[in-house]
Amino acid sequence: MSKRDELIEKYAEDIKTKFGQTPDMDLLTKVAIGLGPAIYNLDASKVSGSDEKELETVKNNFLIKKLGLAETPALTESINSVIDAYGKSEKNKHRAVIYYMLTKHFGKESVYN
């Protein structure tokens, strides 16, 4: 099993345990591949739920640029709801899991096809 496959399995487990959902493995794999080498970097692979600058980056670089969503208060609300569901006390909030959950939330799976 490759390092990427191991990470994707870890992400899938988080989606099952933290969000109570069965992950779409095809989409999860595409999200992880879309993050490129960032998934292997300890710092870049995580999202700090308490860092406003980090959350702005998720909003601007992922939701607006990647998913093509318009700037609205709903973007920040959706990020916060995913962070809350992941668990504020959870230190390892994986970027791939957050991006996957946001993609599903906004019904933007077609971006990865």
Contact criterion met (CB below 8 Å) for 113 and 31: no
Six-digit token string for 42? 């300890």
Q: For the segment 36-82, what is each residue's pLDDT rounded down to a tens digit?
A: 999 999 999 999 998 999 999 999 999 999 999 999 999 999 999 99
Assigned token pair, 103: 């993609």
CA distances to 26, 30, 105 from 50, rounded to whole Å, are 30, 27, 21
Rounded CA separation 110/16 (Å): 22
Minimum mean pLDDT range among 27-31, 36-40, 66-70, 88-92: 88-92
93-102 pLDDT tens trace: 999 999 999 9
User: In sequence order, what DSSP letters do the residues of 45-91 get, joined into one string?
Assistant: TB--TT-HHHHHHIIIIIIIIIS-----HHHHHHHHHHHHHH-TT-S
| Rounded Cα gap, residues 53 and 99, in angstroms | 16
